[in-house]
Amino acid sequence: MSEEIEKVKILIIGSGPAGYTAAIYTARAGLNPVLYQGLQPGGQLTITSDVENFPGFPQGIGGPELMELMQKQAEKFNTQMRFGIISKVDFSKRPFMIFTDDEKQISAETVIIATGATARWLGLESERRLAGSGVSACAQCDGFFYKGQDVAIVGGGDTAAEEASYLAGICKTVYLIHRRNELRASKYMQEKVSKISNIKILYSHIIKEILGEKSVEGVLLEDIKNKKEVKLNIQGFFVAIGHHPNTEIFKGQLDTNENGYIITKPGTTQTSVKGVFAAGDVQDEAYRQAITAAGSGCMAALEVEKFLCAPPN
């Protein structure tokens, strides 16, 4: 491993709306942030074809284009943008020691974690092929595109029930598909979806294939109880089987909740380690929106600036 250690005031781990916004704010403050983008610069939005709910774009904007604009804005103020991943961290004392996948060592006075969360997928080839062309993991992001149409959502927990309820207010018919014979959602959410007339719950069904070449045209299911195939004609397919936060390298370093999300002090982005901040989906299990991620990135940047300017204890 290289013996040369780079010293930085602020290291931002991860890109996307949270990381790029944190970079914009800290760079404008003259704090010379270094940002490691990860293996997917721009994060989850780079696989989202159209974004219509981000303020300032009345005609909508492509997810990759939005992330490219954010990156350019951060670079305009001299953020040091680097492609690559962080492989290991040591938050036991300040300055913190950070190790990259190419064996570079970084000594950072403060760290902003913006590594995001990744949607869990079914693992079908057709799911990957049609992602962004009818297949989505975010009903509130993409549901509007299927107004008045038939859609399906797979999952059985509160998230699936909540997103099915949301889609029911937009779409003609919502098929809620679950592999078990009862939902895992809370009793309240189960009662709620059961009372919505255009939600059709299909218990004991599994997804065999999503149909369509260039866009979703249907879904092929297997009725487990009756051992027969069922085909639904739909235009949109939503996956709601959970997300997992990208926090593997921080295990044992920071406090996380039972699902692995980084815990921050209420009303702040401060983690359990002073000088380490978390923004975006990596600490947000509830909203997971581009605008909320950007907002928390701003919060983290302002808190870092205040932290660095505070007199030593």
Shared domain check, 158 and 17: no
pTM of the predicted structure, to 2 decimals: 0.79
pLDDT at 286 over 90: no
Mean pLDDT for 219-225 is 96
Packed helices 187-194 and 158-168: angle between N→C axes, nearest 10 degrees: 30
> If you average pLDDT over residues 204-218, what whole number do you get?
97
* Element at 76 (helix H, strand E): helix 63-76
Tell whether 127 and 208 lie within a shared domain: yes
pLDDT score at 261: 97
Q: How many domains does the chain have?
A: 2
Whether 142 is a known active-site residue: answer yes
- Confidence at residue 45, expressed as pLDDT on a 0 to 100 scale: 84
In the predicted model, is pLDDT for residue 208 greater than 70? yes
> In the prediction, which pLDDT does 1 show?
45
- pLDDT, tens digit (0-9, with 9 covering 90-100), for 16-68: 999 999 999 999 999 999 999 988 888 888 877 678 889 999 999 988 999 99
Determine which of 8-12, 13-17, 36-40, 298-302 has the lowest per-residue pLDDT on average: 36-40
Decide the pairing of beta strands 96-100 and 86-90. Answer: antiparallel
Give the domain CATH number at 281. 3.50.50.60
Average pLDDT over residues 287-291: 89
- DSSP 8-class letter at 47: G
Catalytic residue among 50, 101, 102, 138: 138
What letter does residue 263 receive in the DSSP assignment?
Answer: P
Based on the fold, state whether residues 109 and 247 are members of the same structural domain: yes
What is the structure's pLDDT at 55? 95
Q: What is the mean pLDDT of residues 268-296?
A: 95
pLDDT (mean) for 247-257: 96
| DSSP state for residue 311 in the 8-state scheme | P
For residues 118-130, give the mean pLDDT.
92
- Last residue in a domain, options 239, 255, 281: 239
153 forms beta bridges with: 176, 238
What CA–CA distance (Å, rounded) separates 49 from 168? 22
Beta strands in the chain (DSSP E): 5-13, 34-36, 80-82, 86-90, 96-100, 105-113, 117-119, 135-136, 150-154, 173-177, 199-202, 205-211, 218-223, 228-232, 236-239, 243-245, 276-278
Name the residue range of residue 19's domain: 5-118+243-309
pLDDT number for residue 262: 98
The predicted structure's pLDDT at residue 287: 86
Instruction: Write down the catalytic residue from 141, 281, 284, 298.
Output: 141
- Looking at 201, 217, 239, the residue that finishes a domain is 239
pLDDT value at position 46? 82
Statement: residue 8 has pLDDT above 80: yes
Q: Please report the pLDDT score of residue 107 as a whole number.
A: 98
Residue 109, judged by CB atoms within 10 A of its CB (0-12, 13-18, 19+), counts as: middle
The mean pLDDT value of the chain amounts to 94
Q: How far apart are CA 34 and CA 7, in angstroms?
A: 10
80 shares a domain with 10: yes
| Reported confidence tier of residue 313, pLDDT bands at 50, 70, 90 | low
Residue 113 sits in the same domain as residue 251: yes
Q: Would the CA dihedral through 40, 43, 48, 50 be positive or negative?
A: negative
> How much is the average pLDDT of 121-138?
93
pLDDT digits (tens, 9 = 90+) for 141-153: 899 999 999 999 9
The residue from 177, 207, 239 where one domain ends is 239
Out of 142, 150, 281, 284, pick the active-site residue: 142
Same domain for 137 and 81, yes or no, is no
Model confidence at 158, pLDDT cuts 50, 70, 90, reads confident
Cα–Cα distances (Å) from 243 to 13, 50, 87, 119, 285, in that order, read 19, 21, 21, 4, 9
Is residue 91's pLDDT more than 80?
Answer: yes
Q: Could you tell me if 111 and 131 lie in one domain?
A: no
